Structure 1
Amino acid sequence: MSTNLLTNPAAGAFGGKVQEYFWQWENQQLRVVYETIGQGSPILLLPAFSSVSTREEMGELAELLAPHFQVTVIDWPGFGESSRLSLDYRPVIYQRFLADFTKSVFNTAVSVIGAGHAAGYILQLALKEPQIFAKIVLLAPTWRGPLPTMGASQQIAAMVRGIIRFPIIGQLLYKLNTTPSFLSWMYSRHVFTNMAKLTPNFITKKWQSTQQPGARFASAAFVTGNIDTFRTQSEFLSLVQSLSIPIMAILGASSPPKSRQEMDALAALPNVDSVVVPGSLGLHEEFPVEVFEAILPFLKVV
């Protein structure tokens, strides 16, 4: 495992120092791209898992935090500018990656801010190695993928995932589910609340990310629930209750009903601070200023 600096300034999503982290999984080398901006105590930002997941969705929040902290944002393996190999993406890959990356890049306890499905991986690592994280912020946290949330059985989800892995029919099915019109519909349904922000340029950039070679493999794993870290709400809440690390949850006022119920259950726990801000599942990208103002006092407390 090694790290080196990327010299192409165009690679910077928000003006930070762009680096590569080379990581081995089952005798395959993955190139993971991450970006660092600012000075001070370290903070790790983890984007939400989704078909359009990139570190750029954390860009404005990273810029707001940079005057106060040294902020590092990653592209998860299988997403963004990181390697998109045809792996069987499952929790153990991301659990191992997050542990290895954090211990390799940081030499002190780091505060971590994770959106969506990143929550489960943060919490599991915090339980296993509590010395790694100083504070935890969960942005619109989720633990169940789209198909399971819609009620699909594990068998149906596995069948869909298998089909998407096929070379021709899988590519076609994936492309049909990542057209600009579909992405715009997805955002308007449960990611953003202000449709004016879904400009043609915004959607085109998201679409371009989904069309990278190998993009369908990790995306399908997320959509079908194959990278879900928990199977039940009680597992999720029990793990949170067992932690002594300070935890804050940021909830979107307009989150989908099922997701909001899950978030409210988390916020009700006695060891979790919570704040409701405008937005839905993409609140960190749509309302970065409101998120920043909500989390800064929590992060600043010694």
Structure 2
Amino acid sequence: MTYTLENTTRWVTVGGHKLRYHEAGAGAPLVLLHGSGAGVSGWANFGGNLEVLAQHFRCLVLDQPGFGESGRPEVYEQNYLRIASDAVIGMLDELGIEKAHLLGNSMGGAVATMTALDHPGRADKLVLMAPGGVGVNILGPEPSEGIRRLMQFNVDPTEQNALGFLRSMVFNEATLTPELIETRLQAASDPKAIAAIQDAYATFYNPKFAEPLPLWARLKGLRHEVLMLWGRDDRVTPVEGALFPARQLPNADLRTFARCGHWVQIERKDAFERAVIDFLQHGL
């Protein structure tokens, strides 16, 4: 079957807000959580992987609150990661799913980690792809080049800044096809999308919304099996940040990918899909 944005689109209402998700395949539920960034959505991150992954899993690709076509609270009154994590649990509740694998890219990796820590019985295995909030950079600059470019876009959401952010996401700029660039720039220019990402990031830097402990300080309490996937040339969450969680997580493997930036699922698509299927079906 050919999966498209249109024929996979579903809707669920959580906390009074309509959330879009894409559903494909059958089998063990697998929730896929996108990262942050200019023009991001669940489909933009994972639409190209559904044809393969849906042969093995019931894939649920969520537009997190405020991103893609999902609604959101008008004012955020807590850390955005917690808002997004609550949305994941709410979606599972509405769909009658007791437990699911969680796969998160970047910010989505942080959301998957928080969800598994706070609701351990609802998460099965975790795939964390260059997850935010979990790694600790000890050598490179903080924030990283990619995060600086994203913050530049948040302050001045121009096409030039959006394109600069996209270029920092990949090892090989040929990955950024004209179609991909056009789609992302069009989505990034939507005033609602701009406001959503600005508001989400504002919660990360607001002391009032700080968690009692950062995610990286809670990792030893995550008992689930975890596969971490990291591009060797990631300029958003540099690969050095993988070393701390690789040591702290009690049941985790780490795999790095050559010729790859922040988008493992795109730049190393086939290897990514093989790694995910093998891990989720057979474990560590």
Q: For the superposition of Structure 1 and Structure 2, which TM-score range results when normalised by the shorter chain?
A: 0.7 to 0.9
Distance 1:31 1:12 in 2: 20
Partner of 1:274: 254
Deviation at 1:111, TM superposition (A): 0.7
Q: Which runs of 5 or more residues in structure 1 are unaligned? A: 1-10, 152-160, 165-172
Deviation at 1:206, TM superposition (A): 0.3
Q: TM-score w.r.t. structure 2 length?
A: 0.80
Deviation at 1:104, TM superposition (A): 2.1
Deviation at 1:237, TM superposition (A): 3.2
Distance 1:299 1:182 in 2: 37
Distance 1:244 1:128 in 2: 12
Distance 1:86 1:203, change over 3 A: farther
Partner of 1:53: 40
Contact 1:85-1:217 within 8 A present in 2 as well = no
Out of 191, 197, 205, the position equivalent to 2:175 is 197
Contact 2:237-2:262 within 8 A present in 1 as well = no
CA offset digits 1:43-93 (Å, max 9, x no partner)? 111111223221122112222211111111011111112126643373342
Question: SS of the counterpart of 1:244?
Answer: coil
Q: Where in structure 2 are the equivalents of 1:87-98 lying within 5 Å? A: 87-88=75-76, 90-91=79-80, 92-98=82-88
Report the residue type matching 2:71 in the other structure: S
Q: Between the two proteins, what is the percent identity of the paired residues?
A: 20
1:294 lines up with 2:275 in the alignment = yes
CA offset digits 1:80-124 (Å, max 9, x no partner)? 121266433733422322221122224231111011012222222
Contact 2:99-2:122 within 8 A present in 1 as well = yes
Distance 1:227 1:249 in 2: 26
Contact 1:49-1:222 within 8 A present in 2 as well = no
Measured on the aligned residues, the alpha-carbon RMSD in Å equals 3.1
Contact 2:133-2:216 within 8 A present in 1 as well = no
Out of 104, 108, 126, the position equivalent to 2:116 is 126
Q: Where in structure 2 are the equivalents of 1:250-269 lying within 5 Å? A: 250-256=229-235, 259-269=238-248
Deviation at 1:227, TM superposition (A): 7.8
Partner of 2:226: 247
Deviation at 1:276, TM superposition (A): 0.8
Partner of 1:114: 104
Contact 2:127-2:228 within 8 A present in 1 as well = yes
Partner of 1:155: none
Partner of 2:148: none
Partner of 1:8: none
Partner of 1:182: 161
Partner of 1:21: 12
Partner of 1:78: 66
Distance 1:213 1:188, change over 3 A: closer
Q: Which runs of 5 or more residues in structure 2 are unaligned? A: 135-140, 145-150
Deviation at 1:12, TM superposition (A): 4.2
Q: Stretches of 4+ moved more than 6 A in 1?
A: 227-232
Question: SS of the counterpart of 2:29?
Answer: strand
Distance 2:92 2:200 in 1: 22
Partner of 2:125: 135
Report the residue type matching 1:216 in the other structure: I
Q: TM-score w.r.t. structure 1 length?
A: 0.76
